[in-house]
Amino acid sequence: MTAVYITIDTEYSAGLAARLGVGAREEVFEHSITCRTPDGDVGILHQMAVMDAHGIKGVFFVDPMPALIWGTRAVAEVVEPILERGHEVQLHLHPEWLELAGDANPLSGRTGRNMHAFTEEEQVELLAFARDQLMRAGAPSPTAFRAGNYGADDATLRALARLGIRYDSSHVPGIAGSECCISLSAEDREVVRHEGTIEVPVGSIRSHRGQRHAQITALSSWELAAALRFSVREGSAMLNIVSHSFELMSRDRTRINSIVRDRFTRFCGSVAATQGAHSATFGSRPPRIGDETGAATMPRNEIRTAARVAEQLVSNALYGAS
């Protein structure tokens, strides 16, 4: 059986909060978490409804850093519906929130875009703060982490190990030049122990430029379904898919991106309908050293690639570049 991890980075937008002002919490919530539009919501409640309809459990990497300016209740409003519907909450962290924190900054004014901008000791402080805020918001003690912008480094993994957080999923071999600074290469696509932490790479498929990451906005429905079938046929242990709480919206977060919304729904349907595949979480089926996390050895299909490029051009024209 191939375990399919649908992981959703769930976050208020720090950029939007900076632009609208820290008093606009409800508006940022509606543009980042519920993703409200005139035609309905497509944020985490919609994503969970789709997964529930197909018997799928998701992993929601929740960023608790907005508690710095809005308090624990702002995070609890994200955590509670996820847990109520039986999905998993894990830890996410965007250090950009430190710039808005003022005197509440736990690092005494130090700021940075990514985790790797900080020393190991500072990262321990940030991760401990974020973990504690997540738990105050009602989440169980997290066992897995993903850095905002994938911006982790080896010090992040050592810090996680010191805090007893067993898994990281910040290494994304399918993005050339990503903001991840973990000392693993694009060839490191299996679950591996690194710097004391178990690294669970984001999945990928072979593309005309090497590898392409397994993200809902990055692959077509055809490619996602093909990757799932290939993983099952090859007996791959897992397929690690990434998405975001706001990913089914237009780039300006005012409208539904119907192409990506339908792609998410179809992929959930593929997981439910594919014999030999099942959804999994870090709790229900912990990743194991040596697990392949994607379909990187699947032969490249020029027609699938061309169809995806054409679809992305249409999506970008209608809804903005993703």
Chain center to CA of 75: 17
Q: What is the pLDDT of residue 172?
A: 98
Say which residue the tokens 């072979």 belong to. 206
Tell me the C-alpha distance between 169 and 81, whole Å.
23
**Tokens standing for 240?**
């690690």
Coil vs helix vs strand at 266: helix
144 phi and psi, to 5 degrees? -140, 155
Say which residue the tokens 């480094």 belong to. 153
Contacts of 233 (CB under 8 A, 6+ apart): none
Residue type, 86: G
Query: What's the Rg (C-alpha) of the chain?
Result: 18
Q: What is the pLDDT of residue 174?
A: 95
Tell me the C-alpha distance between 254 and 316, whole Å.
14
Q: Where do the structural domains in the chain lie, given as residue ranges?
A: 2-319
Q: What is the pLDDT of residue 264?
A: 98
175 phi and psi, to 5 degrees? -115, 110
Classify residue 55 as exposed, middle or buried by CB count within 10 Å of its CB (0-12, 13-18, 19+).
Answer: exposed
Tell me the C-alpha distance between 128 and 159, whole Å.
9
CA distance between the termini of the chain: 32
Q: What is the pLDDT of residue 322?
A: 57
Tell me the C-alpha distance between 265 and 20, whole Å.
32
2-319 domain in CATH 3.20.20.370?
Answer: yes
pTM, full prediction: 0.97
Q: Kindly report each contact of residues 80-85 with a partner whose C-beta sits within 8 Å and lies 24 or more positions away, as own/partner.
A: 80/137, 80/138, 81/44, 81/45, 81/48, 82/10, 82/44, 82/48, 83/138, 83/139, 85/48, 85/52
Kindly tell me the number of DSSP H helices and DSSP E strands found in the chain. 10, 13
pLDDT tens per residue across all 322 residues of the chain: 999 999 999 999 999 999 999 899 999 999 999 999 999 999 999 999 999 999 999 999 999 999 999 999 999 999 999 999 999 999 999 999 999 999 999 999 999 999 999 999 999 999 999 999 999 999 999 999 999 999 999 999 999 999 999 999 999 999 988 999 999 999 999 999 999 999 999 999 998 778 999 999 999 999 999 999 999 999 999 999 999 999 999 999 999 999 999 999 999 999 999 999 999 999 999 999 999 999 999 999 989 989 999 988 988 898 887 5
Coil vs helix vs strand at 179: coil
Q: What is the pLDDT of residue 135?
A: 98
Residue 113: DSSP 8-state: S
For 284-311, write each residue's pLDDT tens digit: 999 999 999 999 999 999 899 899 999 8
